[in-house]
Amino acid sequence: MSYISKHSLLWVCAESHNTLDMIVQCPSAFLTPPLVIPELAYNSLPKVKLCLDQPLFAKVDMAQLLSLCTIADAAVERVHKFLESADEASVTSLLSQIETLCKQISPQDPSKVLEKLGLFEAFPYLEQGVVDNRKLGAVSQHPGASYLNYISLLNQVVMMGTQLYHDACVPQHHKYCAHQIALLYQCLNMLQGETKPIRKLVEARFDEIKTITESKSPVLDVEISDWLQEVTWLCREEVKNFPAYMHKKVQPITGILHSKFKS
Q: Which amino acid is at 76?
A: V
Q: From CA 36, how far away is CA 165, in angstroms rounded?
A: 70
Q: What is the pLDDT of residue 33?
A: 66
pLDDT digit string, tens, across residues 11-22: 444 444 455 455
pLDDT tens digits, 193-245:
889 999 999 999 999 999 999 999 999 999 999 999 999 999 999 999 999 89
Orientation angle between helical segments 62-81 and 88-105, nearest 10 degrees:
150
pLDDT, position 20: 47
Query: How much is the pTM?
Result: 0.68
Q: Is the dihedral of CA 205, 208, 210, 212 positive or negative?
A: negative
Residues written for the chain: 263
Q: Which residue, 247, 66, 253, 61, is CA-closest to 145?
A: 253
| Whole-angstrom distance, CA of residue 85 vs CA of residue 176 | 38
CA 180 to CA 191: how far, in whole Å?
Answer: 17
**Number of H-type helices and E-type strands within the chain:** 11, 0
Could you tell me which residue, 153 or 145, shows the higher pLDDT? 153
Provide the 3-class DSSP secondary structure of residue 135.
coil
Q: How far, in Å, CA of 131 to CA of 30, rounded?
A: 58
Please name each of the domains of the chain with its CATH number: 62-140 (no CATH), 144-251 (1.20.120)
